[in-house]
Amino acid sequence: MGRTMSSLEVKDLHVTINGSHILQGVNFFVPENKVTALLGRNGVGKSTTLKAIMGLNPGTGSIKFGGTEIVAMPTHKIVQMGMGYVPEDREIFASLTVKENLSLAARDAEPNYELVYSLFPELLTRTSQRAGTLSGGQQQMVAIARALLNQNKILVIDEPTKGLAPKLVTEVANALAHVADHSTMLIVEQNLALVKAIAQNIIVMDQGKVVFEGGPENLQDESFVKSMLGVSGGHK
């Protein structure tokens, strides 16, 4: 298993927040140029894991990005290494326009606006609109677009379709599927239909630990989905 430039390896990751031991020795590997989905019931530590990877939740153990240890690295350094992050709560700048939100995120000398506007043409018509007046789905487009502007080595995406109307879920899913063709991606997502469509690997967490790693074909098994995720197959 090669530790390549955009691979991500997490070993014995522990995170304690306000006295609660949230992550209790998390281990998994995200291979290059593949989509890995991090799954599990609510409250098992999925978002905490992504924040730890981004340096937002201090942790102990090892997180290697392309073979480089990043567990104690500040977030801005991790981003500069080529890690794009789409947080669960979007965290756009509500008082700024769509264009200003995108401009602030652009790190590359030639940001890929062409890709962003081809995936989300609606944003092109709203470049001068304040982001706070956008719908939830449009704000999610902005959040994803910010990560896609730069030539990131890996995309870390937290629940991109959460709370979206079905039509927008489809639009976001199509955009992610397009990007997934040539990207390394770690995604937390409750929509199992989307996971089945784009992921090559799945990781299941429970109570702060990884309890399963395997392929998405396991999601076809109703008993597996119910026991591991507590939901019926194909539903959120």
What digits encode the pLDDT tens for the residues 167-187? Answer: 888 888 889 988 888 889 999
For range 187-213, the mean pLDDT? 95
Per-residue pLDDT for 102 more than 90? Answer: yes
pLDDT in tens, 135-171: 888 999 999 999 999 999 999 999 999 888 888 888 8
Q: Indicate the residue type of 73.
A: M
Of 15, 129, 130, 112, the residue nearest 71 (C-alpha) = 15
Domain extents in the chain: 8-229
**What pLDDT shows up at residue 231?**
61
**What pLDDT shows up at residue 235?**
36
DSSP-assigned letter for residue 200: S
End-to-end CA separation in angstroms for the chain: 32
pLDDT: which is higher, 210 or 183: 210
**What pLDDT shows up at residue 3?**
54
**What pLDDT shows up at residue 4?**
62
**What pLDDT shows up at residue 116?**
94
**What pLDDT shows up at residue 120?**
93
Of 13, 8, 20, 118, the residue nearest 60 (C-alpha) = 13
Indicate the pLDDT class of residue 71, thresholds 50, 70 and 90.
very high
Looking at the chain, the whole-number percentage of residues with pLDDT higher than 70 is: 96
Model confidence pTM above 0.75: yes
> What CA–CA distances, in Å, run from 218 to 127, 184, 221?
42, 21, 6
DSSP-assigned letter for residue 130: B
- The fold for domain 8-229 equals Rossmann fold (3.40.50)
Dihedral sign computed on CA atoms, order 100, 194, 15, 28: negative
13-17, 85-89, 92-96, 97-101: lowest mean pLDDT where?
A: 85-89
